[in-house]
Chains A and B, each alone.
Chain A
Amino acid sequence: GIQVEQSPPDLILQEGANSTLRCNFSDSVNNLQWFHQNPWGQLINLFYIPSGTKQNGRLSATTVATERYSLLYISSSQTTDSGVYFCAVRPYGGSQGNLIFGKGTKLSVKP
């Protein structure tokens, strides 16, 4: 089955710094989502981005589907950005409900 690899696994930043999180996937996909999991466990939707570039405030994401990777950019990080960031993909032929998740990037932003 499709493999989803996220890097780095852990990231520690000083407040105000910028960061780039990467998601590589091993096969063609027709859906890709980025999530932020808060300390209480809820998965918060950041981007629905099977291809192209999107921006939402300090966050932006780019997916290059032909090269099988996606990047999540966080600028001017804040302590509230701390948590685990997941990339999840739906391979072609799979149902929408069946997202394959990476292992996540654990981000800690220090004041």
Chain B
Amino acid sequence: DAGVTQSPTHLIKTRGQQVTLRCSPKSGHDTVSWYQQALGQGPQFIFQYYEEEERQRGNFPDRFSGHQFPNYSSELNVNALLLGDSALYLCASSPGPLSGELFFGEGSRLTVL
């Protein structure tokens, strides 16, 4: 049973660039959420996707956008990168938007120079 998979594992970008991170949910899950974890902090909710729509959003600017595909996989896009966007980006999946245990992938570590 495949768990949540994310790519790439690590990447380095420079200020002003754009980045796309990818996530495949756990088998049987149709809901994907994205989190940002800064060094030494707990993860913070960015947004959730269900049925290819953004269902809920945390306190993040519009530079952060996403997409969900018909196969339930998802992308997180960040435009106009800032140094402060350097973080571990975690994808989580669940069996529906309102219930069930949340499972996380290994994360994508983004460094912005």
Contacts and interface: CB of A to CB of B under 8 A. Distances in A.
Interface residues of A, number: 21
A96 B97 contact: yes
Given A97-B48, A97-B55, A98-B45, A41 B109 contact: yes
A20 interface: no
Nearest to B49: A97
A102 interface: yes
Contacts of B48: 95-98
Interface string A72-107: 000000000000001010000011111111111000
A69 interface: no
Interface of B: 31-33, 37, 41-45, 47-48, 55-56, 58, 88, 90, 92, 94, 96-107, 109
Interface of A: 33, 35, 40-43, 45, 48, 86, 88, 94-104
25 contacts: A35-B104, A40-B106, A43-B43, A43-B90, A45-B104, A88-B42, A88-B102, A94-B56, A95-B48, A95-B56, A96-B31, A96-B94, A96-B97, A96-B99, A96-B100, A97-B32, A97-B47, A97-B48, A97-B94, A99-B45, A100-B45, A101-B44, A103-B41, A103-B42, A104-B42
